Amino acid sequence: MLVGCLRALSAQTLPPLEVFVCYRDGDGQTERALLSLGEKELSLVHRMVLGSSDNFAAGLRAGIAASSGDLVALTDDDSEAPPDWLERITGYFRDASVAGVGGRDVLPSETVLAEVVGRIQWFGRRIGNHHAGVGGMRDVDFLKGVNCCFRGDLLREIGVDRRLKGSGTVIHTELSICLPMRRSGWRLIYDPQLSVTHHIAQRQDGDNNHRGEFNTSGFGDTTHNETLMVLEHLSPLGRIAFACWSFLIGTAFTPGLLHCLRSVATGGEPATQAVRRWWATRSGRFAGLRTYLLLPRPTQLVAKRRP
């Protein structure tokens, strides 16, 4: 999949200036994949070799810091962009108020479509749906990492929050990038017509919670990250509402007590699994709250949007 991703980037009508591939030391599969590329595909690739125990956030952080472009696009190794992807992305940044742009990641098996995309509701409920968005271009609160681009100076200034947890995959890195931009008055644009194909590869390190499996530790890390990022984004009243809603109600994926009881009563999933999911969610919420209270984000001078 990495080979397909890089070949798609090398075939862009507006060629990228540089492509960073970030991977762990000792990752022979990635090394062999890179060696299988032709000279054209390899000519732009910069290898960012991480420590053997570094996670996804470390790789993303290293790639962003090493970048030099006025615009920096992010994607995943299991995606393929159409030839005009980068050329179309650049057009949105003619508007000086736009900090980031993203679009739909088309999943081969997905049939559900959604109008609401990339929103944090006032009480903290997060609505993604980037893979299913329909309609026109609109402002959103956050983008999805498989298909997005940001102003390089802003992205390098904000970086990726070091408090995020995850042994391999680190879920919600996008929130740590996008929400500070939104709080500083910048616009983030989502256009479902700006799409990439997302093949959905299996994740490493036992975290396939978004791939039909359940891993307690990974799920707790995911919930910690979401809780921390959302708490920082909300108003004081919104934080109180989020605490009440998330612990008592929640969602089917990150259930509060009532969602857990409903799942058990209706047979939505086996009782043992439902309780494990609820307990991991509860633990992650408490961990995120603890990080928010005890480890505040370092003061950031995120550039305010110009009037």
**Whole-structure pTM value:** 0.94
What pLDDT does residue 301 have? 55
Rg (CA), the chain: 19
Sign of CA dihedral 244, 115, 98, 89: positive
What pLDDT does residue 214 have? 77
Closest-CA residue to 279 (of 231, 304, 247): 247
What pLDDT does residue 125 have? 98
What pLDDT does residue 171 have? 93
3-state secondary structure the chain: CHHHHHHHHHCCCCCCCCEEEEEECCCHHHHHHHHCCCHHHHCCEEEEEECCCCCHHHHHHHHHHHCCCCEEEEECCCEECCCCHHHHHHHHCCCCCEEEEEEEEECCCCCCCECCCCEECCCCCEECCHHHECCCCEECCCCCCCEEEEEHHHHHHHCCCCCCCCCCCCCCHHHHHHHHHHHCCCEEEEEEEEEEEECCCCCCCCCCCCCCCCCHHHHHHHHHHHHHHHHHHCCHHHHHHHHHHHHHCECCCCECHHHHHHHHHHCCCCHHHHHHHHHHHHHHHHHHHHHHHHCCCCCCCCCCCCC
Residue 74's φ and ψ, nearest 5 degrees, are: -120, 140
Q: Which residues pair with 21 in a beta bridge?
A: 47
Q: How many C-beta atoms lie closer than 10 Å to residue 184's C-beta?
A: 16
What pLDDT does residue 206 have? 56
What pLDDT does residue 268 have? 83
Q: How many C-beta atoms lie closer than 10 Å to residue 163's C-beta?
A: 18
What pLDDT does residue 218 have? 87
pLDDT along the chain (307 residues), means of 10: 94 96 94 91 92 94 96 96 97 97 91 94 97 96 98 96 93 97 96 94 60 78 97 97 97 94 90 92 97 84 64
What pLDDT does residue 306 have? 57
